[in-house]
């Protein structure tokens, strides 16, 4: 008998067996299911639990499983699971009421679980495009267990979870009947292999019991604490294509080489958090750890294929924590650390409470202490003068000893909410000359100017000198609108053009620093928000700087993990003369590899695993460079520090404080009002002046030496008249928010010394600056002296400090409208010019009203009406511009 005859005989026998089963309580559909026993030929892996099957040969094992228990008569049409699943992404029976039978492969009926169970038909069909598994959504719960052969009746539903219209989970929902027919045959797991052929390759396995026997690693831990999930990858962790040592082609299969390991639960903030290495606060699960014995059911949700395990995966800590950075050699250590929004002002971009702030500070102190850098650059520290910086240094010194670190006082660099800063060890290095901050508009970012900060240092041991330049380029997030915007994502993340412009500006500025000072040894460090193979990095390399991270083995070239891909956003660049003096470099992986749930925040933490350690003190890993500087001749340059006033009042003395002058022989200040330079003693720590008239003046504090070299501190002070000095007796607009969607608000401030009767005031909206009134809001009640009244759009979704706001449609403005405040019919303040249509927004230079928050500058104590002509309004004169949806000061205006 040949193979064809043998197969025909087996088919005949199976058909007869099917008929016999039908006569014993089965059905014609069950017989049809039986006849598919010839569909697949299966091989097993080493543990005998998984099978890889292909069509074409009789499956004798499948035939042996066909003694299935009898089930009740089906209340709806009986269908194979494969016919419910169909061969496409969506079920051909969607919306139909059906009855299906299968063996329970996984049970997740708990209240915090998926509220259902998975079944699988014992014998696959002939079509490799159809799945034999199905999820039964049964939120009421039923007494089924793994291994039961069950019959379930309900409606076929495509459950959508995510943004994709076609990628949905086929399930049986609205279940009307579940019957346990008896014990079913053992279902062997289908072997799943990565990389996938394409993104639809897992559809034929939806709902089925699967396993992975390949070498797997954890490649993402971000959502572990929030949703109980990890991302696994084939082989080692996945690297961003633009950071891969083989270039973009090296990471092209990333999406096909990963799979989400879920936990069978839908509840957020699981307690306990799954998959951690220990039950106490020492437990973690790091990117790079190995995973084996991965076996579970395959499901779809939240735009990803997910494996819900039916047995505990086995983890190997292949990427263990290290208690300190690797040695970098040399005689000095220089580092950089992104401190993830270290704000002493609570409830803004950083900590939301005192508890969170203390936890944040503790973690950062532990990280800084262990880094033990002689000079350390910091990114994402609050731009509030030196308040946040001084607070952090004081905390570090409280741990390490008084005076261990000092900080470079750069004032308020730029106009962004965050800035860069520098701290150093006075026992190891000394600053040479003054801190340098550029005013090049090429450093602008969305939300303001965020320039680098540079300081020249000399090693106390041998006077070896170098420039330290700390940087923070524009991030890849908050993508611009418009299909023709040059900053849209063209393969290097959004804002790549802006970052490249910043890199070019940085290169120009550093060249100027070197030329002016004669010091060519330059180390640039910080968060460049660019991967190693992207344009900003190439720009700096083309300018003669070495990207030092490329000295590391390829597997260590990362400081950040995003969407399961590792890469370097934080860098160190050495100038041509310095590179030979670099003794080593390391990245201390304390943050990027760690779960978010271990950070300082308190929200979304049913299982709070916070510990006072450096782990997850930020989201970026710190970079550390070793230097062995050649000896230099001692360089002494005038060095000047001071805190300049930003506002003042006519007739009231104003002060410069914190003056510290070194290596000079004459100190003077020019207050900018024509009163002439005022000589100060070299030991002076403050200076005072009284302005006679309101206005904006440039204050210059200057220290010079005998050779004519100088250091200068300068700034603009806004002088107002103030109450009792001809100041305003009227309310005025103190803040304007034209945010995203309907996040629109106005803030009114009472600058007077008495309560104001609001019933005299009306706010009017003029669309496009036109004469007609579009909306009007009469006010009522009183407003206390120094208090604010906030008006918000009916759909406002932001935060307001202080009393509840007044909801009003008068805030239904756009960036091209004019808002007027009237008292008894007389205009006393306005935003925009009546009688002019500005187009899309009121603009002046880099200032704009479109999608921005405007705040009245300190010292402004009265409203103003822009002139009727010409059609130009210099909003920069009285208003500072902040980013979209910046509600941090809304409701708490401070006139000074």
For the segment 222-268, what is each residue's pLDDT rounded down to a tens digit? 999 999 999 999 999 999 999 987 765 555 679 999 999 999 998 89
pLDDT at position 882: 87
pLDDT at position 441: 83
pLDDT at position 531: 97
pLDDT at position 572: 98
pLDDT at position 249: 54
pLDDT at position 786: 79
In a 10 Å sphere around its CB, with 0-12 CB exposed, 13-18 middle and 19+ buried, how is residue 143 labelled? Answer: exposed
For residue 408, what pLDDT band results from cuts at 50, 70 and 90? very high
pLDDT at position 336: 98
135-140 long-range contacts, Cβ below 8 Å, gap at least 24? 135/169, 135/170, 135/171, 135/172, 135/207, 135/297, 135/299, 136/171, 136/172, 136/175, 136/178, 137/171, 137/172, 137/173, 137/175, 138/109, 138/175, 138/178, 139/115
For the chain, what's the residue count? 896
Instruction: Provide mean pLDDT across the span 677-696.
Output: 92
For residue 137, what pLDDT band results from cuts at 50, 70 and 90? very high
- pLDDT tens digit sequence for 821-835: 998 888 888 998 888
pLDDT exceeds 90 at position 440: no
- Tell me what the pLDDT averaged over the chain comes to: 87
Torsion of CA 339, 341, 344, 348, to 10 degrees: -170
Per-residue tokens: 503 = 């890199």
> Within a 10 A sphere around the Cβ of 693, how many other Cβ atoms?
11
The residues with which 336 forms a beta bridge, in sequence order, are 377, 623
pLDDT at position 769: 82
Which one is predicted more confidently, 581 or 865? 581
pLDDT at position 446: 64
Q: Which residue has the tokens 């809304």?
A: 890
SS3 per residue for 737-782: EECCCCCEEEEEECCCCCCEEHHHEEEEEEHHHCCCCCEEEECCCE
pLDDT exceeds 60 at position 797: yes
Which one is predicted more confidently, 828 or 611? 611
Q: Which of 437, 495, 417 is nearest to 881 (CA)?
A: 417
Q: Are 161 and 302 in contact (CB under 8 A)?
A: yes
pLDDT exceeds 70 at position 774: yes
Measured between alpha carbons, how far is 531 from 569 in angstroms, rounded to an integer?
Answer: 5
- pLDDT tens digit sequence for 68-109: 999 999 999 999 999 999 998 899 999 999 999 999 999 999
> Within a 10 A sphere around the Cβ of 265, how many other Cβ atoms?
19
pLDDT at position 728: 53
User: How far apart, in Å, are the Cα atoms of 151 and each of 13, 68, 116, 182, 254?
Assistant: 26, 12, 14, 10, 40
Q: Quick one: what percent of the chain has pLDDT higher than 90? A: 64
Q: Are 194 and 255 in contact (CB under 8 A)?
A: no
pLDDT at position 552: 97
pLDDT exceeds 70 at position 31: no
Instruction: Provide mean pLDDT across the span 412-434.
Output: 94
Q: Which residue has the tokens 């008495």?
A: 754
Pairing state between β 448-449 and 444-445: antiparallel
Query: DSSP alpha helices (H): ranges in 24-149?
Result: 28-35, 60-64, 81-85
- pLDDT tens digit sequence for 45-66: 334 333 334 333 334 445 444 6
SS3 per residue for 465-491: EEEEEEEECCCCCCCCCCCCCCCCCCC
For residue 10, what pLDDT band results from cuts at 50, 70 and 90? very low
For residue 620, what pLDDT band results from cuts at 50, 70 and 90? very high
Q: Quick one: what percent of the chain has pLDDT higher than 70? A: 89
Instruction: Provide mean pLDDT across the span 300-310.
Output: 93
pLDDT at position 826: 86
Torsion of CA 297, 300, 301, 305, to 10 degrees: 90
pLDDT exceeds 90 at position 129: yes
Torsion of CA 97, 102, 107, 110, to 10 degrees: 20
pLDDT at position 166: 65
Question: Mutual orientation of helices 28-35 and 3-23 as an angle, nearest 10°?
Answer: 160
Measured between alpha carbons, how far is 325 from 562 in angstroms, rounded to an integer?
Answer: 22
Q: Which of 312, 305, 416, 327 is nearest to 371 (CA)?
A: 327
Lowest-confidence segment of 161-170, 763-772, 837-846 by average pLDDT: 161-170
DSSP string, 407-446: E----S-SSSSEEEEEEE-TTTEEEEEEEE----GGGEET
- CA torsion sign, 269 to 273 to 276 to 282? positive
Measured between alpha carbons, how far is 331 from 310 in angstroms, rounded to an integer?
Answer: 54
pLDDT exceeds 80 at position 1: no
Q: Does the N-terminal peptide bond of residue 272 adopt cis geometry, omega within 30 degrees of 0?
A: yes
The 8-class DSSP code of residue 7 comes to: H
pLDDT exceeds 70 at position 15: no
Q: Are 153 and 176 in contact (CB under 8 A)?
A: yes
SS3 per residue for 245-278: CCCHHHHCCHHHCEEEECCCECCCCCCCCCCCCC
Q: Are 171 and 206 in contact (CB under 8 A)?
A: no
For residue 290, the surrounding DSSP H or E stretch is: strand 290-292
């Amino acid at each position: 008998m040949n193979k064809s005859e043998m197969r025909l005989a087996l088919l005949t026998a199976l058909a007869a067996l099917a008929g016999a089963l039908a006569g014993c309580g089965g059905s014609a559909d069950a017989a049809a299911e039986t006849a598919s026993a010839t569909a697949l030929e299966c091989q097993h892996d080493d543990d005998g639990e998984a099978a890889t099957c292909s069509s074409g040969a009789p499956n004798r094992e499948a035939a042996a499983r066909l003694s299935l228990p009898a089930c009740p008569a089906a209340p709806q049409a009986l269908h194979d699971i494969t016919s419910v699943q169909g061969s496409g992404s969506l079920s051909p029976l969607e919306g139909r009421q059906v009855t299906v039978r299968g063996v329970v492969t996984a049970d997740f009926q708990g209240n915090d679980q998926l509220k259902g169970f998975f079944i699988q038909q014992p014998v696959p069909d002939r079509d490799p495009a159809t799945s034999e598994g199905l999820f039964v959504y049964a939120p009421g719960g039923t007494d089924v267990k793994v291994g039961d052969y069950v019959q379930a009746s309900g409606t076929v539903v495509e459950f959508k979870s995510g943004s994709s219209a076609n990628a949905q989970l086929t399930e049986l929902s609205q279940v009307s009947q579940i019957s346990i027919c008896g014990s079913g045959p053992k279902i062997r797991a289908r072997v799943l292999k990565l990389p996938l052929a394409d993104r639809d390759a897992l559809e034929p396995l939806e709902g089925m019991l699967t396993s992975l026997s390949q070498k797997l690693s954890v490649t993402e831990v971000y959502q572990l604490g929030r949703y109980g999930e990890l991302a696994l990858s084939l082989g080692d962790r996945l690297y961003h294509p633009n950071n891969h040592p083989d270039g973009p082609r090296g990471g092209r299969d990333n999406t096909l080489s990963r799979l989400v390991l879920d936990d069978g639960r839908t509840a957020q903030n699981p307690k306990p958090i799954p998959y951690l290495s220990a039950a106490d606060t020492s437990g973690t699960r790091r990117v790079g750890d190995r995973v084996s014995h991965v076996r579970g059911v395959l499901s779809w949700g939240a735009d990803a294929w997910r494996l819900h395990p039916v047995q505990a995966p086995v983890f190997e800590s292949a990427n263990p924590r290290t208690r300190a950075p690797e040695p970098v050699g040399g005689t000095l250590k220089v580092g950089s650390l992104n401190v993830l929004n270290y704000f002493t002002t609570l409830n803004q971009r950083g900590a939301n409470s005192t508890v969170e702030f203390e936890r944040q500070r503790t973690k950062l102190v532990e990280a800084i202490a262990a880094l033990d850098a002689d000079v350390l650059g910091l990114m994402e520290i609050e731009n509030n003068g030196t308040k946040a910086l001084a607070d952090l240094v004081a905390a570090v010194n409280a741990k390490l000893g008084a005076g261990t670190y000092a900080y470079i006082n750069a004032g308020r660099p730029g106009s962004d909410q965050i800035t860069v800063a520098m701290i150093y060890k006075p026992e190891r290095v000394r600053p040479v000359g003054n801190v340098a901050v550029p005013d090049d508009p090429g450093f602008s970012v969305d939300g303001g100017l965020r320039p680098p900060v540079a300081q020249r240092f000399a090693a106390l041991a041998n006077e070896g000198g170098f420039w330290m330049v700390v940087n923070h380029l524009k991030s890849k997030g908050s993508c611009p609108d418009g299909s023709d915007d040059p900053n849209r994502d063209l393969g290097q993340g959004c804002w790549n053009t802006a970052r490249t412009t910043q890199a070019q500006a940085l290169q120009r500025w550093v060249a100027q620093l070197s030329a002016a000072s004669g010091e060519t040894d330059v180390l640039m460090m910080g968060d460049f928000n660019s991967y190693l193979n992207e344009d900003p990095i190439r720009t700096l390399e083309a300018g003669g700087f070495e990207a030092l991270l490329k000295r590391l083995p390829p597997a260590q070239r990362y400081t950040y993990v995003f969407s399961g891909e590792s890469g370097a956003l934080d860098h160190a660049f050495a100038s041509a003369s310095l590179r030979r003096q670099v003794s080593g470099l390391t990245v201390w992986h304390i943050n990027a590899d760690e779960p978010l749930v271990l950070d300082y925040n308190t929200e979304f933490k049913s299982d709070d695993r916070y510990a006072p350690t450096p782990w997850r003190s930020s989201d970026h890993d710190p970079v550390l460079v070793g230097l062995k500087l050649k000896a230099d001749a001692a360089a002494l340059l005038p060095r000047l520090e001071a805190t300049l006033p930003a506002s003042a009042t006519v007739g009231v003395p104003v002060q410069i404080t914190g003056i510290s002058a070194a290596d000079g022989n004459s100190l003077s200040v020019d207050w900018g009002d024509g009163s002439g330079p005022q000589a100060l003693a070299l030991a002076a720590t403050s200076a005072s002046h009284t302005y006679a008239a309101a206005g904006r003046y440039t204050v210059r504090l200057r220290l010079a030496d005998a050779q004519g070299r100088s250091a200068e501190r300068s700034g603009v002070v806004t002088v107002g008249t103030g109450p009792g000095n001809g100041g305003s007796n009227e309310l005025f607009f103190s803040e304007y928010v034209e945010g995203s969607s309907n996040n629109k608000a106005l803030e009114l401030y009472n600058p007077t010394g008495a309560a104001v009767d609001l019933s005299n005031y009306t706010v009017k909206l003029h669309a496009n600056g036109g004469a007609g009134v579009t909306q009007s809001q009469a006010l009522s009640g009183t407003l206390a002296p120094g208090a604010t009244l906030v008006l918000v759009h009916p759909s406002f979704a932001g935060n307001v400090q202080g009393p509840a706001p007044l909801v009003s449609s008068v805030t239904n403005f756009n960036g091209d409208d004019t808002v007027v405040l009237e008292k008894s019919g007389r205009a006393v303040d306005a935003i925009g010019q009546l009688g002019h249509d500005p187009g899309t927004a009121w603009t002046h230079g880099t200032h704009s009203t479109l999608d921005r928050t405007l705040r009245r500058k300190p010292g402004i104590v009265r409203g103003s009406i822009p002139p009727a002509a010409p059609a130009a309004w210099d909003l920069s004169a009285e208003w500072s511009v902040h980013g979209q949806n910046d509600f941090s000061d809304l409701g708490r205006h401070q006139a000074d």
